[in-house]
Structures are given as structure tokens and as C-alpha cells.
Structure 1
Amino acid sequence: MKSFKHTIRALACAFTIAAVSTTAHAAELRLGSGFGDNHSSTRAMRDVFAAKVEELTAGRHTVSVFANSELGQAPEMVNQAQSGINFGVFVSSAFFNSQVPEIGVTNMPFIFSDRETAFKVFDGPFGEKMKPLFEAKGLVVLGFMELGFRNITNSVRPITQPEDLQGLKIRLQNNPVHIATFNLLGASPTSIDASEMFAALSQGVVDAQENPYAVINSFRLYDAKQKYVTDTGHFFDVIVFAVSKTALDAMTEEDREAVIEAGRLATLEQRSYAAADEATNLETVLSKGVELTRLTPEQREAFRTATAPVLDEVKSRLGAELVDEFLSAVDAAK
């Protein structure tokens, strides 16, 4: 009998230890990203999302943010969130094309004239239509954050017209729409993850790249032979903040709502950070000796005309109905 009681106690102790261990593991929500520590998205995750999750769940959940590609390259981090290995990821929308190709319709060139129009679209019915497509792939979108207007930098020459891109080896995200756009411009696109971009530019594997000023500054691309920048603003890019549907569904309703609310607040704050940081980031880039070319309206129109055929390619890839719906949403938001 004594032996039986000892056995029961031992089993109870083991169960308690296992339960505590499981709870402790579940309480840490791990987020991965390729952005640096000072990027607006990383700051928003640490300053707002992490703080609000802990506050609103009364400490039942904490958030750990792994920036600088600590958890792997962007596609890996998306897969980690999708499978539930990590709780979430915040990276460019381009890295979700494999899971949700429909998001690629928002990547067409020269569609958005300003950030306000873009976020009316992403916060409106069209953005809401995208979210279930992510959920079908095991991801819940907590926010569409601002990555910003993408601009071209290179080590060869100033870019003032589409012809200046002829033969230029340019690093791009692995995004079919982006690649098609730069093929039309006569460049030679190469898909390289952000974690390898600095080395590729420094070693001359590629001559050029395109990113918002925040990324150009955060990754110190002026130290990677990037002597010229042109304010093309060809794509407006968003950061998709997505989390594991399985992990979110496993939470209590109270904690799930708390995490969703923390995501909403962090998204709004990140957009505010990004807008405020833009001028400062450009100023820093120019202070490093990078030469800025500002396009005239006529020059910008030449780029728009040269890339217009991308519309037909996107229609053939994603369907004319989806493209037309997106363009109608943009028009309505203006």
C-alpha cells in the first residue's frame, strides 16, 4: 500500500512538473523578422505588442521578438509561424506569395500615390477579403503594417529613366510581380533574402537593390557600395504581421482577444513610427555620401508607362476579377 501511495505521488508530481513546463512553454510567444532592432516594426512589436500582451493577459503570455533574421530567412520564418513552431512573423507581403498568391495583386507598380490611400484599401473590405485566405493556410493576420515606398539604389550610375536599368543586376525579393516589373525595365533581377543582401551588394554579386529608406538605412546599404538612390517609389509595400492560427485558437477566448487587440494597437503605432521616421532615414542615407536623384513628373510617367504591361501579367496569373476588384478599391480610396 505504501508503495502504491508513493507511486501515485510520483505520478502526480510528474504530471504537475509536465503541466508547469507546458504552460511555461506556451506562455512565450516567439515572433521572427528580418528587420533590424531599430526598424519601426521591431520597435512596435517590442514597445507595444509585447507590453500590451503581457498587460492584457495579466502576464499569462509574454512576447519574445527575434529580429535580424535570428530565426532564419523570411520564407523559413513564415513556415515556422504557419506550422506553429513559432507564434508569429512580421515580414514583407512578398514573402507570403507562396501561401497566399492573391496578396501579390497589391504589389503592382505605381498603384498607390500615398500611404493614406494604401491603408484605406488594406483596412477596408479588400484587406478583410485577404484575411480568410491567410487563415486557410494556418495564419491569422493581426495587422498590415507599413514597409513603405520602395526606391532603387545602385553602385553604377544615377537612374533617371527606364533605360538606365538596362543590364543592371538588381536584388529583389522572391516576388513574381516585382520580378516581372524589373524584367520589363530591362534589368537583370536576382532573388536574394534580406539576410544575404548586404554581402551580395558588397561583393558585387548584384549592382542594385530596391527598398524603402528605412531598410536602406537599417541595413546600412550605403556601406555596401550603394552610391546612388532614386526616389522611384515604384511599389508601396506592407509588412504582414501574421500568427499561427493553431496557437491562437488554443488560447482562451479572453487571451485570444487580448492578443488580437495588442496586434491592432501595435499596427497603428508602427504606421505612426514609419511615417515619422521616413525623412530622418533619408537624411541619414544622404549624410553617408549617397547621391539622390529626384524624378520629375515626366520621368516618373516614363517608368509608369514602361511597367504598365505588368497589369496583364498579373491578370493572367491571379485573375482579371481580382485585379479589377483591387483597382476599384484603390480608386474608391482616393
Structure 2
Amino acid sequence: MKLRQLMLSLCAAAGLGLALQAPAMAQANYKPEYKMSLVLGPAFPWGKGGEIWADLVKERTDGRINIKLYPGTSLVGGDQTREFTALRQGVIDLAVGSTINWSPQVKELNLFALPFLMPDYPAIDALTQGEVGKDLFAQLSKRGVVPLAWGENGFREVSNSKHPIKTPADLKGLKLRVVGSPLFLDTMTALGANPVQMSWADAQPAMASGAVDGQENPVSVFAAAKLENVDQKHLTAWGYVADPLIFVVAENIWNTWTPEDQAIVRQAALDAAQQQIAIARKGMTGDDQSQWKDLEAKGVQIHHLSDAERQQFVDATRGVYDKWKKQIGEDLVGKAESAIAAGQ
């Protein structure tokens, strides 16, 4: 009798244990592969950040979460401005996305594209690593994605095939490729340029054929894409906007993972983002100016704006700044301005 009672107790305990585990087991019904969207592949700092993240996640989850990279925004036919919508619709599982590309759907992200808001790298950090960054993550969290970490595409410098750009007058009439952002169109128009909206996939052939005269992008993108080979011989370092990146997971995917794996993916994103920022800034600041020197060795003429020259561009775009400050949110922009000023 005692043996029978013992066996019944053990069976009951085992049944209770299985019942307690059932929700976790059901929750952990993982897909064999998760799709990560990227505009640029691992040859660029942007794509390298995605690759590092995917590798860390696979290693730290013992292969439970296997992520495949889809560069060139191939999951949305190369239209990078559709990436955020596709995340919300379940087409994309994870992304390392651009604040510029997502700004049409999340107006607050236009903050980083305000002309000449951020004078240097500490200013970027003051925003992304401070209260402003937290506020923006809160906005993203309301829109069906889980933001995990800030990365960086870098300050966007302007290049062209015609002549050096030292004053706003030098931009007059130049056909410049820009991303599909109304703020970028407003900024370039205010400077007298002729902005031409197109995807990055179309940009290089357009420069090679002369359909456009120039473009604006971080130096790391210029170098990796070898834009000197498509007649981009004149590069001006003006740092008019910066493009932070955001490591995110679609909320519908995030909710299928166990809390333990969520924690692993989050920490992997933070670690990958830290490495990615270091890669993006390498050779750009301080004693290490190697990225600039490498381009000069390839025949690219580089002009760094003086403070007085930069102020001319600031003045020429002030109307755009004031217009978009209202659209982005004066409180958010004011908080950003204060954070930058506190770090100067």
C-alpha cells in the first residue's frame, strides 16, 4: 500500500512538473531561421554590426536562434524606407536599421537629420546614450518593435564629380542623390542643390553614368563602395547630419522567445553595437586619421570646413531646422539641444 501511494505521488509530481513547463515549452517554439534586414552587407561597418550580432546570438543560445542576414534590404525589394513597415508586418524578424530610413514612419527619428544639430561624436553619444535615446526607444516600443541598442552609420559627408564644396553657393544646381526623406529634400533644396531621391542600389550606377553629380554618406560607406571609381573626386567633410543605427527585433518574434533568450539577444545586441561603433569611427578622429588619408591616396580631394565656412551652411539651413523642430516635437529637440550643450 505504501509503495502504491509513493508511486502515485511521484506520478503526480512529474505531471505537475510537466504542466509547469508546458507554457515555456510552447513559448519556445522557435523558427529554424530568423531574417535580419540590412541596407549594407558585412563589407561595411553597418553590415558588420549585424553579422557580429547574429554570430553572438547563435553562439550564446547554442544555435536555438539562428539568424540569416539579408543585406541590400532585399526583403523589401531594395526600398529601404519600407523596412520599418515590413518589421511591423512580420516580413522581417530583426534589423539593424537607419534612423533616416525609418523616419518617415517614426517622425521623432528625424531628430538626427536636423541640419548641423550635432557638431561631433560626443554630441551623438549625448543623445543616443542619454535620456533622448531612452525617449526614442520608448516611441519605437509603441510601434511593434523591440529596440535593443544604438549603433552608428556615422556623419554624412557630401561628395561630387564637379568641384570642391566650400560654401552653399557651390551646391547650386548639383544633382545629389538622397534617401527618401522629406527633411533631406528640404535641406538640399535650401542649399540650392537639386536632390534626387533613389535607393542606394540605384545610386552607384547613377553616379557612374552621370545621372547624378554626387551623394552624401559616411566616409566608411564612401570607402567601402569605392566611390572614387564613379567619379566622386571631391569630398567635403561638413558633418551636417549623423545617422545612428538601431538594433531591433519585431515584437511578434520577441514574444515567442523565453525570457532567458530575450536577455541573451539583448546583451548580444549591446555588445555588437559597441563593436560596430568602434569599427565605424576607426580612422576618423584624434591621432588616427587613416580613413581620410586612405581616400586622399586614391586621388580624392578632401576639404574640411572651417568654423566660419560651416556657419554659412548653418545659416542657410536655419529655416529648415526651425520648420522641422516643430514637426519632430519642440520638447524633444529642446532636450537634445540641452544634452549637447551640457557636453560641450
Per the alignment, residue 5 of structure 1 pairs with none
| 2:122 aligned residue (91, 116, 126) | 116
Q: Determine the C-alpha separation between the residues in 1 that align with 2:32 and 2:335.
A: 40
Larger radius of gyration: 2
Aligned pairs (5 A) from 1:112-151: 112-151=118-157
Aligned pairs (5 A) from 1:251-290: 251-278=257-284, 279-290=289-300
Aligned pairs (5 A) from 1:283-298: 283-298=293-308
Per the alignment, residue 12 of structure 1 pairs with none
Alpha carbons 2:107, 2:327 under 8 Å: kept? no
After TM superposition, the structure 1 stretch with the greater mean CA deviation from structure 2, 189-198 or 61-70, is 61-70
1:128 is displaced (CA, Å) by 0.6
Per the alignment, residue 35 of structure 1 pairs with 40
1:274 is displaced (CA, Å) by 1.2
Residue 101 of structure 1 pairs with residue 107 of structure 2: yes
After TM superposition, the structure 1 stretch with the greater mean CA deviation from structure 2, 72-81 or 33-42, is 72-81
| 2:305 match: secondary structure | coil
Per the alignment, residue 16 of structure 2 pairs with none
Q: 1:280 to 1:43 in 2, by over 3 A?
A: farther
Q: Determine the C-alpha separation between the residues in 1 that align with 2:106 and 2:188.
A: 22
Q: Determine the C-alpha separation between the residues in 1 that align with 2:125 and 2:205.
A: 33
Per the alignment, residue 8 of structure 2 pairs with none
The TM-score with structure 2 as length reference comes to 0.85
Amino acid corresponding to residue 88 of structure 1 in structure 2: L
Per the alignment, residue 328 of structure 1 pairs with 338
Q: Determine the C-alpha separation between the residues in 2 that align with 1:280 and 1:68.
A: 27
Q: Determine the C-alpha separation between the residues in 1 that align with 2:239 and 2:141.
A: 31
Residue 44 of structure 1 pairs with residue 54 of structure 2: no
Q: Determine the C-alpha separation between the residues in 2 that align with 1:224 and 1:125.
A: 41
Q: Determine the C-alpha separation between the residues in 1 that align with 2:87 and 2:46.
A: 17
Per the alignment, residue 9 of structure 1 pairs with none
Per the alignment, residue 192 of structure 2 pairs with 186
Q: Determine the C-alpha separation between the residues in 2 that align with 1:318 and 1:197.
A: 28
Residue 214 of structure 1 pairs with residue 230 of structure 2: no
1:44 is displaced (CA, Å) by 2.6
Q: Determine the C-alpha separation between the residues in 1 that align with 2:34 and 2:290.
A: 32
After TM superposition, the structure 1 stretch with the greater mean CA deviation from structure 2, 263-272 or 306-315, is 306-315
Q: 1:123 to 1:266 in 2, by over 3 A?
A: same
Residue 165 of structure 1 pairs with residue 171 of structure 2: yes
1:197 is displaced (CA, Å) by 0.8
Q: Determine the C-alpha separation between the residues in 2 that align with 1:232 and 1:151.
A: 6
Extract unaligned runs of 5+ from structure 1.
Answer: 1-18
Alpha carbons 1:121, 1:333 under 8 Å: kept? no
Q: How many residues align?
A: 313
The TM-score with structure 1 as length reference comes to 0.87
Q: Determine the C-alpha separation between the residues in 2 that align with 1:136 and 1:65.
A: 25
Alpha carbons 2:84, 2:105 under 8 Å: kept? no
1:90 is displaced (CA, Å) by 1.8
Per the alignment, residue 152 of structure 1 pairs with 158
Q: Determine the C-alpha separation between the residues in 2 that align with 1:203 and 1:212.
A: 22
Q: Determine the C-alpha separation between the residues in 1 that align with 2:283 and 2:303.
A: 20
Residue 64 of structure 1 pairs with residue 68 of structure 2: yes
Per the alignment, residue 317 of structure 2 pairs with 307
Q: CA RMSD in A?
A: 2.1
Residue 227 of structure 1 pairs with residue 233 of structure 2: yes
Give the 4+ runs in structure 1 shifted more than 6 A: none
Per the alignment, residue 3 of structure 1 pairs with none
Per the alignment, residue 237 of structure 1 pairs with 243
1:158 is displaced (CA, Å) by 0.9
Q: 1:77 to 1:319 in 2, by over 3 A?
A: closer
1:23 is displaced (CA, Å) by 5.1
Q: Deviations over 1:281-325 (max 9, x none)?
A: 333332322211222221112112211222211133233233222
Q: Determine the C-alpha separation between the residues in 2 that align with 1:69 and 1:223.
A: 24
| 1:309 match: secondary structure | helix
Q: Determine the C-alpha separation between the residues in 2 that align with 1:255 and 1:146.
A: 25
Extract unaligned runs of 5+ from structure 2.
Answer: 1-24
Alpha carbons 1:34, 1:195 under 8 Å: kept? no
Aligned pairs (5 A) from 1:83-94: 83-94=89-100
Amino acid corresponding to residue 250 of structure 2 in structure 1: S
Q: 1:145 to 1:266 in 2, by over 3 A?
A: same
Amino acid corresponding to residue 110 of structure 2 in structure 1: G
Query: What is the aligned-residue identity percentage?
Result: 28
Alpha carbons 1:36, 1:219 under 8 Å: kept? no
